[in-house]
A and B are shown apart, each in its own frame.
Chain A
Amino acid sequence: MLLFLFRRTALAVLVALTVLTFAFVLTRLAGDLAIVIAGPEARAEDVEAIRRAYGLDRPVVIQFFDWAWRAATGDFGESFFFRERVSTLIRQRLPVTLTLGVVGIGIALVVAIPLGILAALHENTWIDRAVGLVAMVGQALPSFWLALLLMLFFGLQLGWLPISGTGSWEHYVMPGIVLSFSAIPALMRLTRAGMIDAMSSDYIRTARAKGLSRSSIVLKHALRNAAMPVVSISAVQLGFMLGGSIVIETVFALHGIGFLAWESISKNDFPTVQAVVLLFAVIYIVLTLIADVANAVLDPRLRAS
């Protein structure tokens, strides 16, 4: 177990370091950063001044290690556009995105698990097919389009919910629903497969033989076993969802990390872009690490591989 924990953590750190390098290389794709920052109307002296001010006149390797060292300690420098520390910006915006992520995964689980159970209990009937169709529709709906449709219906037609902004809990309802759509299909299929597996196992036959009620068998015995992979995949899905929040936060003008990312990309604000790429990657890496370790603790068979 200790060896597994060590190897898995080492892998996570290695991946994080690779992403760190990637985030640095990414912003050098445009060529000379100083010219991009200075803008099209800058004179040669201005570009030179900017190059010196941001330390871009140093060798790239030195720039990288300087940046990486600071990034590893949580210092991402100053934003070009917002005139503020990037770490301050992130600290201000992170609660919004985390709230959105938790609301999204919450809605996804509340919808996906009952539907998955329903499909599994009626395997290969029209109910099963109908649930499968729902999953497929959810997968095919473009998230930004669904967001606009919800705005038109709940915001404009019915006037129930605010169309954009960050103020109250109501601002999280529509974005949360849209975000949950990205996780529902996968979670639903996993619940269905797990339940079908569990319902045909020996301990369920025993429970049936004991004369337990159907609801007790399904909820207490089968679901408990089927839920484990669902919980660990939902951690992974949460990681993906936070990455996808950029679209939804932009559409709903929800001022979280995703909105910050979009603003900084469109304003060529490289320090912020680098920081956000790294932040989302690290959140994903940590979530998958937790999920893997939790799985290994619960299921010793997984530790061997």
Chain B
Amino acid sequence: MRALRNAGLAFGALVVGSVLFCAVFAELLMPHDPFAQDLTRRLLPPFWLEGHDPAHLLGTDQLGRDYLSRLILGARISMLIGITAVIVSGVIGITIGVVGGFFGGRVDDVVMFIITTRLAIPLILVALAVVSLIGSSLTVVVLTLGLLLWDRFAVVARTTTMQVRTLDYVSAAWAAGCSRAWILGREVLPNILSPLAVVATLEMALAILLEAVLSFLGLGVPPPLPSWGLMISEGKEYMFFDPWVIFVPGITLFVLVMGINLLGDGLRDMVGASQVR
């Protein structure tokens, strides 16, 4: 069983590592310009189907743009969204959670109220409404997701802070006359980081999926940027004749999210953060 688990972790790390590599070095890896259209060579099939063109390994889309190049640039969009949304939501959620868990009492009541309210707000609906009202751009999508996805960070930060607060080394720090800020920053925070790292993987996967949903519904990353969700959305009209147009970006999206989750699962077992689910 140990070997199986390690295999999961290795697979997750491999997937996330390669997607990150594509995201960083997209310019070097893309065989064609991902925005260059060629209407005479529309919807060329990928390499495993008959009639493919060796110059376009994964075929071309409805405007004749190279699918592989768009997929590679799409990795950058997904990773950018995933990482930035996690940073924004992490800062918000951890601050809220630590404050509630550390101070307790009335402050904690307010924190619990804020978390409960956030959970009551329908996520996708509000994200769609916000993007549609402000206008869709990469920045708007990232900020919207970041401002909405902090709930799990807050819940886990709050519970773990409560556990750490009563431990001996925190009491010792109080006794030694350390300031509140010192105790929060140097004693509490470092000791709740490992479960929060697991939350970060879960939220990153969720942010990437939600970006794809928003883009699929036409209210995410604006075209011609090749978001994987947008590629599936554009391919939808042609899927009854050329189903591969939705297979390719869909499988990449699925494998990336699966990889991030496996990485998080492996991390959970490694740091023993059973409180995160």
Report A's interface with B, CB cutoff 8 A.
Answer: 11, 14-16, 18-19, 22, 26-27, 29-30, 124, 126, 129, 136-137, 139-145, 148-149, 152, 156, 186, 189, 242-244, 246-247, 250, 261-262, 265-266, 268, 273, 276-277, 280-281, 284-285, 288
30 examples of A-B residue contacts, CB within 8 angstroms: A19-B117, A19-B121, A26-B130, A30-B133, A30-B134, A139-B257, A140-B205, A142-B213, A142-B232, A142-B254, A142-B257, A143-B213, A144-B212, A144-B216, A145-B246, A145-B250, A145-B253, A148-B239, A149-B246, A149-B250, A152-B239, A156-B240, A243-B124, A246-B122, A246-B124, A246-B128, A247-B217, A261-B125, A262-B217, A284-B122
In the complex formed, the residue of B with least CB distance to A280 is B122
A145 nearest CB across to chain B (Å): 4
Partner of A277 from the list B129, B229, B240, B277 (CB cut-off 8 Å) is: B129
Check A250/B133 contact, CB under 8 A, given A140-B257, A152-B240, A280-B125: no
B249 nearest CB across to chain A (Å): 8
B125 in contact with A277 (CB, 8 Å): yes
In the complex formed, the residue of A with least CB distance to B116 is A15
Q: Give the total of B residues in contact with A, Cβ under 8 Å.
A: 43
**Alpha-carbon separation in the docked complex, A124 to B2 (Å):** 10
B123 in contact with A243 (CB, 8 Å): yes
**Alpha-carbon separation in the docked complex, A284 to B261 (Å):** 27
B82 nearest CB across to chain A (Å): 13
**Alpha-carbon separation in the docked complex, A285 to B118 (Å):** 11
B218 in contact with A266 (CB, 8 Å): yes
**Alpha-carbon separation in the docked complex, A264 to B252 (Å):** 31
The digit string for B170-202, where 1 denotes a CB below 8 A from any CB of A, is 000000000000000000000000000000000
B1 in contact with A124 (CB, 8 Å): yes
**Alpha-carbon separation in the docked complex, A281 to B121 (Å):** 5
Task: Tell me which residues across on chain A come within 8 A of B125, comparing CB atoms.
Answer: 243, 246, 261, 265, 276-277, 280
Task: Tell me which residues across on chain B come within 8 A of A30, comparing CB atoms.
Answer: 133-134
B128 in contact with A141 (CB, 8 Å): no
Interface of B is mostly: helix
**Alpha-carbon separation in the docked complex, A140 to B11 (Å):** 15
Partner of B129 from the list A26, A142, A145 (CB cut-off 8 Å) is: A26
A284 nearest CB across to chain B (Å): 5
The digit string for B135-153, where 1 denotes a CB below 8 A from any CB of A, is 0000000000000000000
Instruction: Check: B219 CB closer than 8 A to any chain A CB.
Output: yes
Q: Which of B216-245 touch A at CB < 8 Å?
A: 216-219, 229, 232, 236, 239-240, 243
Partner of B209 from the list A15, A142, A273 (CB cut-off 8 Å) is: A142
B33 nearest CB across to chain A (Å): 27
B124 in contact with A247 (CB, 8 Å): yes
A148 in contact with B236 (CB, 8 Å): yes
Task: Tell me which residues across on chain A come within 8 A of B128, comparing CB atoms.
Answer: 246, 261-262, 265
Partner of A22 from the list B121, B258, B261 (CB cut-off 8 Å) is: B121
A14 in contact with B113 (CB, 8 Å): yes
B254 in contact with A141 (CB, 8 Å): yes
A136 in contact with B258 (CB, 8 Å): yes
**Alpha-carbon separation in the docked complex, A280 to B119 (Å):** 11
**Alpha-carbon separation in the docked complex, A268 to B4 (Å):** 50
Task: Tell me which residues across on chain A come within 8 A of B229, comparing CB atoms.
Answer: 142, 144
